[in-house]
A and B are shown apart, each in its own frame.
Chain A
Amino acid sequence: MIRDITLGQYYPTDSVLHRLDPRVKLCGTLIYVISLFLFQTFTGYIVATVFLVSMIALSHVPVKFIFRGLKAILFILVFTAVLNTFLTPGRELVSFWKITITIEGVRLAAFMILRLVYLIIGSSLMTLTTTPSNLTDGLEKSLGWLKVFRVPVHEIAMMMSIALTFIPVLLEETDRIIKAQQARGADFESGNIIRRVKSLVPILVPLFISAFRRANDLAIAMESRCYHGGDGRTKMRPLAYGFRDIMAYVVLVLYLAVVIVVGIMF
C-alpha cells in the first residue's frame, strides 16, 4: 500500500546511530554515496556491503522496515536492469532472434541494481535514524558557509524540514482519500492504462486541494508566531560534537581510506 513508502520516515528507537550528530550522518551518507559510484569492481561492492550491513545492525531498525522502502522503486529497478542487460554492447553471452545479451550488460545491470538499492537503503538509513528537525538543523549548520555566497541556507533547510514532516501526513491523507473513493466503488486496479491514469483524478484533485489548504494554514500559523526567517533565530538545542561523533568521523575516514585503496589496487 501507499504506506509502504518509507521515504523520509523516522523510526523512533534508541541506537548509536540515532544519537550521532546529524552532521556526521550527513557527511557519512555523502561519502557512502560517492563511494558507490567510484566502485567498479566486485571487491568494491563487498566493502560497500560490509559497511552497509554493519550500519543496519547498529541502527536497531528492523530489517523488514528498511527493505519496505525498496518496494516503491521496484519498477525503476526492473526497468534499469532490463535496459542495461539488453542495450550494452560487448561480448555475447546468449542471443536469440534480434536480441543479444552481453556479459558486460549483465555485469552493468547487476552493478546498477546494487548501486540503486544501496543508495536507497543508505539514505533511508539516515532519515530513519534522524528526526526531520535534527536533520535540517544538521544541514543548515553544515551548509552555513554557503551564506557567504548569498545562498538562503536557512530558508532551504526550513523548506526541507517542512517537506519531510509533511510526507507522512500527505501519505496518510492519500490513503484516506483512496479509501473514501473506494467506498464509492472506485477501482484503481483494473482496465487499460488510460483508464487507470484517469482513475487517479479522484485521488489527485482532493489531494492537491488538501495540500494547498495545509500549506496555507501552516503559513498563517508561522506568520502569526512572528516567523521572519533565520536572522537572529536561536536554537533550543544547539548542535555540538561529542566523543561519539569524533569516533564516527574516524570510522568514516577509515572507510574512505579503504575505498581509495580498493579503488587503486583492485
Chain B
Amino acid sequence: MSIIVNHVDHIYNPGTVFEKKALNDVTFSVENGEYIGLVGRTGSGKSTLVTHLNGLMKPTGGGIYYDGVDISSDGYDIKALRGKVGLVFQYPEHQLFEEDVFADVCFGPKNLGLKETEIELRAYEALKAVGIKDEQFYVSPFDLSGGEKRRVAIAGVLAMKPEVLVLDEPCAGLDPAGREEILALADHLHSSLNITVIIVSHSMDDLAEHVERILVMNDGMLVMDAPTRVVFGHRAELEAMGLAVPEVTAILSDLKKAGLPVRDDLITIEEARSEILRVFGK
C-alpha cells in the first residue's frame, strides 16, 4: 500500500463569487504502516484533503496515486478503492441509519458484494475491535451514547477491512475519557492490525503521544511534514498559524525561557516529569 499526493489543487465553485481555493499544491506520500496526524486550524482544508484520498472528490489540479496508479484515470475501480481507503467522516454518528447496530456495520461489506457469512464475520470482528459489547449488537444505534455511536460508525468503516484508515476529527465533541478511548482504538488498529492510520485533528495534545509523523496544513497549503517531535520544535511557527504545541512542551519551553536548564523537545507528560525532576536533582 502506498499513497502519493502529487501537487494537488482543489478549487470549490470555480468561476463564481463562492470560489475558494481549498487545496494549494499539496504534495506528500504515505507508506504502508505509518501513523500520521494531519493538523491545521479550522478551514485549512484538512477535510477536503482527506476526501480526495478515496476518490470522493476529484482534484482540480495534480493527481493522486494509490499503489502507483492514478485514481482518476479511466476505468479505475473507485469502489474497490473506497474499500481500501476507509474514510470516517467528521461526526460519523450522523450517518447511522439501520434498525440495529449490527445491520449498520454490515452496510459497508455488503456494498463490497461479499458473501453473507463473510459480511457477518467482518461486522462481528469490527464491532469487537472497537469494543462494543455483544448485548449492544441488536439495539438501535440511536439509543447509544455519543461515544458508542461514534465507535459503531468507525466499525462500519473497519468492517470493509481497509488498508488505510482515515479518521476526520474522531475526538470532536467527546469528553476526555471518550477521546482517550478513540485514540487508544486508533493505536490498537495501527499496532495490532497493521492498518495505516491517518488522524485529522486540531488538538496537538490528542496527537502528541500517538502519531509518529505530523502534516500541518495552513490555508490550503501543506506547510510542515515531519516526525512528531520535529514539528513540535517549531512552537513559534505553529502559534503563528493559530495552532499550539502540546501543553507539556509549552510548559518546558516556558521553564527554559525562565532560566531552568531543561530540554524543550519533549512531548509526553512522563518525559516532562522526569526531565523536571532531573533538573532539580531528584
> What is the size category of the interface that chain B forms with chain A?
20 to 34
> Which single residue of chain A is at the shortest CB-CB distance from B112?
A185
The answer to whether A12 touches B17 (Cβ under 8 A) is yes
Query: What are the residues of chain B within 8 A of A217 when measuring CB–CB?
Result: none
> Which single residue of chain A is at the shortest CB-CB distance from B113?
A185
The answer to whether A185 touches B160 (Cβ under 8 A) is yes
Annotate B153-168 by CB proximity to A: 1 below 8 A, 0 otherwise. 0001100100000000
**Complex Cα gap A143–B257 (Å):** 68
Q: Which of A179, A206, A210 contacts B56 (CB 8 A)?
A: A179
The answer to whether B160 touches A205 (Cβ under 8 A) is no
The answer to whether B83 touches A180 (Cβ under 8 A) is no
Annotate B73-93 by CB proximity to A: 1 below 8 A, 0 otherwise. 000000100110011110010
- Interface residues of chain A, those whose CB is within 8 Å of chain B, are 11-13, 62, 64-65, 176-177, 179-187, 201-202, 205-206, 209-210
**Complex Cα gap A12–B112 (Å):** 43
The answer to whether B89 touches A187 (Cβ under 8 A) is no
Contacts A62-B16, A187-B79 given; indicate if A205 touches B89 (C-beta within 8 A). Answer: no
Listed stretches B94-102, B207-215, B221-229, B266-274; interface member: B94-102
Query: What are the residues of chain B within 8 A of A183 when measuring CB–CB?
Result: 54, 56, 82, 86-89, 157
**Complex Cα gap A233–B198 (Å):** 51
The answer to whether B156 touches A184 (Cβ under 8 A) is yes
> Which single residue of chain B is at the shortest CB-CB distance from A185?
B111
Query: What are the residues of chain B within 8 A of A177 when measuring CB–CB?
Result: 94-95
Closest 8 CB pairs of A and B: A185-B111, A205-B97, A180-B95, A184-B108, A183-B87, A180-B89, A202-B97, A179-B56
Give chain B interface residues in 15-69, CB to chain A under 8 Å: 15-17, 51, 54, 56
The answer to whether B157 touches A209 (Cβ under 8 A) is no
The answer to whether A185 touches B89 (Cβ under 8 A) is no
**Complex Cα gap A196–B112 (Å):** 16
Check: B137 CB closer than 8 A to any chain A CB: no
**Complex Cα gap A201–B97 (Å):** 8
Between A and B, 5 residue pairs with Cβ closer than 8 Å are A182-B82, A183-B56, A183-B86, A184-B82, A184-B95
Check: B142 CB closer than 8 A to any chain A CB: yes
Check: B107 CB closer than 8 A to any chain A CB: yes
> Which single residue of chain B is at the shortest CB-CB distance from A213?
B94
* B20 → chain A closest CB, angstroms: 13
**Complex Cα gap A62–B108 (Å):** 41
The answer to whether A181 touches B95 (Cβ under 8 A) is yes
The answer to whether A180 touches B92 (Cβ under 8 A) is yes
**Complex Cα gap A181–B97 (Å):** 10
* B168 → chain A closest CB, angstroms: 10
The answer to whether B94 touches A210 (Cβ under 8 A) is yes
The answer to whether B89 touches A179 (Cβ under 8 A) is yes
**Complex Cα gap A177–B89 (Å):** 9
**Complex Cα gap A182–B15 (Å):** 27
Annotate B135-171 by CB proximity to A: 1 below 8 A, 0 otherwise. 0000000100000000000001100100000000000
Q: Which of B17, B51, B87, B94 contacts A13 (CB 8 A)?
A: B17
The answer to whether A185 touches B16 (Cβ under 8 A) is no
**Complex Cα gap A181–B104 (Å):** 11
Query: What are the residues of chain A within 8 A of B79 when measuring CB–CB?
Result: 185, 187
**Complex Cα gap A65–B196 (Å):** 42
> Which single residue of chain B is at the shortest CB-CB distance from A199?
B111
**Complex Cα gap A184–B107 (Å):** 7
* A93 → chain B closest CB, angstroms: 41
> Which single residue of chain B is at the shortest CB-CB distance from A13?
B17
Beyond the given A179-B89, A182-B82, A209-B142, please list 16 additional residue pairs across the A-B interface where CB-CB is below 8 A. Answer: A62-B15, A64-B15, A180-B94, A183-B86, A183-B87, A184-B108, A185-B108, A185-B112, A186-B107, A187-B111, A201-B97, A202-B95, A202-B97, A202-B107, A205-B97, A209-B94
Query: What are the residues of chain B within 8 A of A13 when measuring CB–CB?
Result: 17
Query: What are the residues of chain B within 8 A of A12 when measuring CB–CB?
Result: 17
The answer to whether B51 touches A179 (Cβ under 8 A) is yes
